Amino acid sequence: MSAMHGHASPLPLVLSDVWFATGPARARVTILHGISLALEAGPRTVILGPNGAGKSVLLRLCHGLLRPSAGTIAWRGRRNARRPDAMVFQRPVMLRRSVRGNVEYGLKLAGIGRAERRRIAGERLEAVGLAHLAGRAARRLSGGEQQRVALARAWALDPEVLFLDEPTANLDPTATRMVEAIVLAMHKAGTKIVMTTHDLGQAHRLADEILFMHRGRIVERAPAAEFFAAPKSPEAAAFIRGELPV
């Protein structure tokens, strides 16, 4: 269960001199250049930066989908047997089954029994406002609805940390607001939020703190209000003025 249940957190997640390079040996491309940072429990962290800054790769490394080329990533808090983190992607992949079946899938992998799965899925679908679509084929839903199913599916696992990779990049403003409201609700329920975006408005609305990335490096880290009022780095200032290509 989440932090609101009052047990010790697996956070901080500590990255020490993390490098990531990809491609064949002759045409190696370095995406991340020696990133060191600690993600602490609590504030909503928004990783902001132009396209190609390395935000998505950083998130995938944190979530364990990629391995660093060099450096270490470790949970330094207290861990139990459960996986502490879940992720929501820019383009949600719906399994070819019902909405409920999608939300139950991760629970099934975790070995949770049928009745319990059904109960949790029902609660989470209620929380994202899709209980009435539980029996529908997930792939037939709209993009915004699919992203809310993806959020319910991640939330069903009761993650300590939720990584979100540009979750509203393909959505219209209404669907975007709904996704943002769910993210805020999850945070309120005790889940640490780590989200990438290149959308300044969204960063304003959701961020407690900003991690500003540019060209594979973390250029600046600051509380959101401070970052937007007085960015310390010239890159961040240019980005806020809309002068860095997004």
Partner 1 sequence: MPERDALSTAVALIAGADPALWSIVGLSLAVSLSAVVFASLIGLPIGAALALFRFPGRGALVTLFNGMMGLPPVVVGLVVYLLLSRAGPLGDLGILFTPGAMVIAQTLLIFPIIAALARQTIEDAWHEYEEQIRSLGATPRRSIPTLLWDTRFSLATAVLAGLGRASAEVGAVMIVGGNIEGLTRVMTTSIALETSKGDLPLALGLGIVLIALIVLINALAHAMKAVAQARYG
Stretch that binds partner 1, among 37-45, 69-77, 80-88, 223-231 (CB under 8 A): 80-88
Retrieve residue 48's tokens: 């902001």
3-state secondary structure of 226: helix
Q: How many residues bind partner 1 (CB under 8 A)?
A: 23
Dist. CA 130–CA 132, nearest whole Å: 5
Answer for which of 2, 30, 52, 60 binds partner 1 (CB under 8 A) is 60
Pick the binder of partner 1 from 35, 138, 149, 224 (CB under 8 A). Answer: 138
Q: What are phi and psi of 72, to 5 degrees?
A: -130, 150
Residues ≥6 apart with Cβ < 8 Å to 235: 212, 214, 219, 220, 244
Is 113 a binding residue for partner 1 by CB under 8 A? The answer is no
**Min dist. Cβ of residue 67 to partner 1 (A):** 13
Tokens of 245: 């290509």
Residue 87 is a binding residue for partner 1 (CB under 8 A): yes
Min CB(23)–partner 1 separation in Å = 18
- The stretch among 20-28, 69-77, 86-94, 205-213 that binds partner 1 (CB under 8 A) is 86-94
Which residue's CB is nearer to partner 1, number 131 or number 137?
A: 137
Among 5, 26, 67, 96, binds partner 1 (CB under 8 A): 96
- Nearer to partner 1 (CB atom), residue 86 or residue 218: 86
Bridge partners for 29 per DSSP: 22
Please enumerate in sequence order all residues whose Cβ is within 8 A of that of 163, keeping only pairs 6 or more positions apart, or say none.
Answer: 59, 62, 63, 85, 86, 87, 88, 194, 195
Query: Per rule CB under 8 A, is residue 93 in the interface with partner 1?
Result: yes
Instruction: Note whether 92 binds partner 1 by CB under 8 A.
Output: yes
Handedness of CA 55, 49, 46, 149 (dihedral sign): negative
- Looking at this protein, which amino acid is placed at residue 52? G
User: What is the distance between the alpha carbons of residues 155 and 184, in angstroms, rounded to a whole number?
Assistant: 12
* Two structure tokens written together for 124: 């989470």
Tell me: does residue 140 bind partner 1 (CB under 8 A): yes
Q: In the complex, which residues of this chain contact partner 1 (CB under 8 A)? A: 60, 63, 65, 83, 86-87, 89, 92-97, 105-106, 109-110, 137-140, 153, 157
